[in-house]
Amino acid sequence: MGAPASIYDFSAPLLSGEQTSLSKWRGRVLLIVNTASHCGLTPQYTGLQRLHERLEWKGLTVLGFPCNQFFDQEFGTESEITRFCRENFGVTFPMFSRLKVNGRRTHPLYHHLKQHKPGILGTGMIKWNFTKFLVDRNGEPVARYAPRTKPEDLEQPIRNLL
């Protein structure tokens, strides 16, 4: 089997434990974000949820991927992460189980994203929580945004793909 052709060739378990293929969102614009519940950028969940609510009907899906690789800022269990996101930020967009975005055990999805959209100076590393990848309706990564880029600043680039 060859290299994955698009985002839709990957799968990962949701926080509920259900293994889910990203092909479930084929034909939609995706905003893929590595998240953390105990980070200075955690309030970005509010902006991500607003984007999801405002643009879901037009074809956007935000996908959250908790990661504990940055100073143990996502240390809870799957049920604790689910509860935290719902109670504090009203998150309704799909949230996946914790995964690795860097290192030897990088999840294949993040290997693919970093390969197609490397960071500044071509580095493949994810530098922090809330790095964002914008993926078009064909499953192609089209942009990478820094952790400090606010979700609300992405509305126009997202609308351009919708």
CATH assignment of the domain containing 92: 3.40.30.10
pLDDT of residue 120: 74
The pLDDT tens digits of the residues spanning 124-148 come to: 889 989 999 999 999 999 999 999 9
Mean pLDDT score of the chain: 92
Q: Decide if 1 is inside a domain.
A: no
Please give the residue that has the higher pLDDT: either 82 or 3: 82
Q: Residue 95 carries which DSSP code?
A: B
Does residue 128 sit within a domain? yes
The residues, ordered by sequence, that sit 6+ positions from 146 with a Cβ below 8 Å of its Cβ are: 127, 131
pLDDT in tens, 62-81: 999 999 888 777 778 899 99
Question: Two tokens at 81?
Answer: 């992460």
Does residue 85 carry a catalytic annotation?
A: no
pLDDT in tens, 10-51: 999 999 999 999 999 999 999 999 999 989 999 999 999 999
Quote the number of domains for the chain: 1
Residue 146 falls within a domain, yes or no? yes
Say if residue 122's pLDDT is above 90. Answer: no
The reported pLDDT for the residue numbered 35 is: 95
Of the candidates 7, 15, 29, 39, the residue annotated as catalytic is: 39
Confidence class of residue 3 from pLDDT cuts 50, 70 and 90?
A: low
Residue 45 forms part of a structural domain: yes
In a domain, 2, yes or no: no
- 1 has a pLDDT exceeding 50: no
Of 102, 84, 92, 107, give the one whose Cα is nearest residue 19.
107
Residues 6+ apart with CB under 8 A from 8: 21, 22, 23, 25, 26, 139
* Domain of 138, in residue numbers: 7-161
